[in-house]
C-alpha cells in the first residue's frame, strides 16, 4: 500500500504528516509521490484566502488526475465552513479535532488491507471474553518459528506481545469484572515478551499475584518453552494456575520433526512432559499431532505413538497432514495418500479415546476444584469435563468428589 502526503501551510502540518507517515511506515505502508500513491492525504492550510483556494483546487485536481486513489483531506481548512471537500472529490474528511486518529482513518480507507508484516500488537483488552465464566486474554500474536507445514507466520506476521504493564492492568480488570478463569492465549505464547526481561513465566508470576477469586490457564506452549521457572510456578501456585499443559508434539519421529522444521527431538518432548507431571500434582498433558507428513513411514508413525505414550499425553488432537500452498512442505516428496493419512489418524484417535478415558478414570475418588458452567456441569482445573450431582449456578468454584464417569465426562458430588 502506497501513501502520499501533500502538505500545505506551516511546520506543524509538516511535523504531523511526518509523524503519521512514520507510523504508517512501521505498518508496511510505503511513501510515494501523490501521482503513484494508493492513498493521498491533503493536509490543508487556512491561514490566508489564497492558501485556502489552493488547497481546495488541489483536492479537485487530484480527484481528476487520480480517480482510482483514495483521498483524505485534513488540516485547518476542514474546521472552516464553506468548502465541501466531499463534493470536490475527497473520500474522507478528518478535522483537526480528529487528527489524532488520522492513521486509523487512513487504514480504514484501505479496507483493512494493511500488510501484516510489522503490524503492532492489538487485542487482549478488558472487554474480551466469549462467556461470563472464561475470558480468552490475548497476550501475544505472530510467529517466526518457520515450521515447514505452517502458513500462519505469513498471515499473522512476526511475534509481538501485549506490553507487560498493559497486560497486568488489563488482567486486573478482567478479574475485577468477575471472570473466574482467564486463559492466556496467543499464536505462540512461549514467545511472549521476547527480547524483554518479561517472558511468559514472568508474566504468569506477576498476574497470579493479583488478588481475587480466579484461576489462570495456559493455552498451547511449545516443548522448548516449558522452562524450569514456568513449571515451578505451576507447582507452587497450583490453586491459581490450572494443572494442564497443552504441548504440541506434531510427530514423535526425529526424522519427521527435522523435516517439519520443529526445533526439538522426541526425547526433549518426553522429558518436558514427564518432568512437569512429576512436579505438578494431577497435571494433564494435551497435544496436537500431525499424521502422514510427507516421508512419514509406518515406523515413524510408530515413533509418534511411543513418544505420546512415554510422555503420558492424556488428550490429543490428531490432524491428517494437509498441504498448504506457500509453505516449505508443500513441495516435499514422499506424500501419502488420503487413505493412508486417514487410516493413521483414525488408529491414533481410537487409541487415545481409551487413554483419555483411563486418565479420567484415574481421577475417581479424588477431589477436584471445578468451575461451574450452565446446565449442572463444569470443568476441573486439569481440564476434564465434570457433570455435577446438583444443578448450581454457573461461574462458581466448587470442590467435587469424583465418583465415576458417564458419556465422556466425570461425575461427582459437591462437597463443602
152 binds ligand SF4 (CB under 6 A): yes
Q: Is 150 in the site for ligand SF4 (CB under 6 A)?
A: yes
CA 343 – CA 353 distance, rounded (Å): 15
The answer to whether the Cα torsion of 108, 110, 112, 117 is positive or negative is negative
276 and 244 Cβ atoms separated by less than 8 Å: no
Long-range CB contacts (within 8 A, 24+) of 123-127 = 123/162, 124/162, 124/167, 124/170, 125/170, 126/170, 126/173, 126/174, 126/177
Is residue 143 close enough to count as binding ligand SF4 by CB under 6 A? yes
- 116 near ligand SF4 (CB under 6 A): no
Query: Is 274 one of the binding residues for ligand SF4 (CB under 6 A)?
Result: no
Cα–Cα distance for residue pair 69/113, rounded to 1 Å:
14
Q: Which is nearer to ligand SF4, 261 or 385 (CB)?
A: 261
Q: Is 145 a binder of ligand SF4 (CB under 6 A)?
A: yes
Contact region for ligand SF4 (CB under 6 A) — 7-15, 105-113, 148-156, 392-400?
Answer: 148-156
Of residues 153 and 193, the one with the C-beta less far from ligand SF4: 153
Q: Which is nearer to ligand SF4, 146 or 334 (CB)?
A: 146
> Does 157 sit near ligand SF4 (CB under 6 A)?
no
What's the CA gap between 225 and 298, in Å, rounded? 29
Q: Nearer Cβ to ligand SF4, position 142 or 412?
A: 142
- Nearest CB to ligand SF4, comparing residues 152 and 305: 152
Q: Which stretch binds ligand SF4 (CB under 6 A): 108-116, 145-153, 307-315, 382-390?
A: 145-153
Residue 36 C-beta: closest distance to ligand SF4, Å: 35
Chain-centroid distance of CA 321 in Å reads 22
Q: Do the Cβ atoms of 135 and 179 come closer than 8 Å?
A: yes
Only one of the segments 31-39, 141-149, 194-202, 302-310 lies at the binding site for ligand SF4 (rule: CB under 6 A); that segment is 141-149
State in angstroms the smallest separation of the CB of 251 from ligand SF4: 12
Q: What are the CA-CA distances from residue 186 to residues 85, 136, 141, 194, 201 (Å)?
A: 43, 9, 5, 13, 15
Question: Closer CB to ligand SF4, residue 140 or residue 307?
Answer: 140
Indicate whether 245 belongs to the interface with ligand SF4 (CB under 6 A): no
Q: How far apart are CA 400 and CA 416, in angstroms?
A: 9
> Minimal distance in Å, beta carbon 256 to ligand SF4?
14
Which listed range, 147-155, 175-183, 350-358, 408-416, lies at the site for ligand SF4 (CB under 6 A)? Answer: 147-155
**Is the Cβ–Cβ distance between 99 and 15 less than 8 Å?**
no
Applying CB under 6 A, what is the total number of residues that bind ligand SF4? 9
Interface pattern 182-201 for ligand SF4 (x via CB under 6 A): -----xx-------------
- Could you tell me the smallest distance in angstroms from the CB atom of residue 245 to ligand SF4? 16
Closer residue to ligand SF4 (CB): 188 or 246 = 188
Looking at 150-158, 317-325, 339-347, 365-373, which segment touches ligand SF4 (CB under 6 A)?
150-158
The answer to whether 402 and 385 are in contact (CB under 8 A) is: no
Lookup result for grid cell 506490553:
163
Determine, following the binding rule CB under 6 A, whether residue 259 of this chain makes contact with ligand SF4: no
Beta strands in 8-133 (DSSP E): 30-31, 39-44, 70-75, 92-94
- The span from the CA of 216 to the CA of 75, in Å, is 47
Candidate ranges 121-129, 142-150, 263-271, 396-404; the one touching ligand SF4 (CB under 6 A)? 142-150
Return the residue of 106, 147, 270, 387 that touches ligand SF4, per CB under 6 A: 147
Buried-exposed string 143-174: b where 16+ CB fall within 10 A, e elsewhere: bebebbbbebbeebbebbbbebeebbebbeeb
Q: Phi/psi at 97 (nearest 5 deg)?
A: -65, -25
The smaller minimum CB distance to ligand SF4, of residues 83 and 327, is found at: 327
Measured at the CA of 130, the angle between CA 397 and CA 243, to 5 degrees, comes to 45
With cell 516428496, the residue in question is 333
Q: Any contact of residue 343 with ligand SF4 (CB under 6 A)?
A: no
The nearer residue to ligand SF4, 145 or 168, going by C-beta atoms, is: 145
Helix axes 298-311, 338-361, angle to 10 degrees: 20
Per CB under 6 A, residues contacting ligand SF4 are 143, 145-147, 150, 152-153, 187-188
Amino acid at each position: 500500500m502506497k501513501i502520499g502526503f501533500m502538505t500545505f501551510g506551516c511546520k506543524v502540518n509538516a511535523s504531523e504528516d511526518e509523524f503519521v507517515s512514520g507510523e504508517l511506515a512501521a505498518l508496511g505502508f510505503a511513501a510515494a509521490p501523490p501521482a503513484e500513491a494508493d492513498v493521498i492525504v491533503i493536509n490543508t492550510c487556512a491561514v490566508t484566502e489564497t492558501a485556502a483556494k489552493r488547497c481546495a483546487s488541489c483536492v479537485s485536481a487530484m480527484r481528476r488526475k487520480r480517480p482510482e486513489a483514495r483521498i483524505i483531506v485534513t488540516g485547518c481548512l476542514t474546521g472552516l465552513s464553506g468548502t465541501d471537500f466531499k463534493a470536490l472529490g475527497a473520500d474522507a474528511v478528518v478535522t483537526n479535532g480528529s487528527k489524532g486518529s488520522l492513521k486509523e482513518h487512513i487504514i480504514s480507507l484501505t479496507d483493512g488491507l494493511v500488510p501484516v508484516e510489522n503490524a503492532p500488537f492489538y487485542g487482549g483488552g478488558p472487554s474480551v471474553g466469549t462467556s461470563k465464566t472464561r475470558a480468552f486474554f490475548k497476550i501475544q500474536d505472530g510467529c517466526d518459528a518457520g515450521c515447514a507445514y505452517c502458513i500462519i507466520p505469513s498471515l499473522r506476521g512476526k511475534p509481538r506481545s501485549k506490553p507487560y504493564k498493559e497486560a497486568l492492568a488489563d488482567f486486573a480488570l478482567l478479574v475485577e469484572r468477575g471472570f473466574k478463569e482467564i486463559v492466556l492465549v496467543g499464536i505462540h505464547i512461549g514467545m511472549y515478551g521476547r527480547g524483554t526481561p518479561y517472558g511468559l513465566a514472568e508474566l504468569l508470576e506477576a498476574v497470579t499475584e493479583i488478588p481475587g477469586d480466579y484461576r489462570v490457564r495456559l493455552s498451547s506452549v511449545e516443548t522448548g518453552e516449558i522452562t524450569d521457572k514456568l513449571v515451578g510456578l505451576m507447582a507452587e501456585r497450583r490453586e491459581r494456575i490450572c494443572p494442564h499443559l497443552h504441548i504440541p508434539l506434531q510427530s514423535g519421529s526425529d526424522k519427521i520433526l527435522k523435516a517439519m522444521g520443529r526445533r526439538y527431538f522426541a526425547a526433549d518432548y518426553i522429558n518436558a512432559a514427564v518432568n512437569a507431571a512429576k512436579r505438578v500434582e494431577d497435571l494433564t498433558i494435551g497435544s496436537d499431532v500431525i499424521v502422514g507428513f510427507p516421508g512419514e513411514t509406518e515406523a515413524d508413525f510408530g515413533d509418534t505413538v511411543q513418544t505420546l505414550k512415554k510422555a503420558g499425553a492424556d488428550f490429543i488432537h490428531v490432524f491428517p497432514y494437509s498441504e498448504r500452498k506457500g509453505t516449505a512442505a508443500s513441495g516435499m516428496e514422499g506424500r501419502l495418500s488420503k487413505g493412508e493419512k486417514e487410516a493413521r489418524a483414525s488408529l491414533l484417535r481410537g487409541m487415545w479415546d481409551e487413554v483419555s478415558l483411563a486418565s479420567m478414570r484415574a481421577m475417581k475418588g479424588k477431589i477436584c476444584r471445578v468451575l461451574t458452567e450452565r446446565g449442572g456441569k463444569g470443568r476441573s482445573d486439569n481440564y476434564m469435563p465434570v457433570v455435577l450431582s446438583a444443578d448450581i449456578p454457573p461461574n462458581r468454584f466448587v470442590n467435587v468428589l469424583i465418583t465415576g464417569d458417564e458419556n465422556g465426562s466425570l461425575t461427582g458430588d459437591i462437597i463443602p
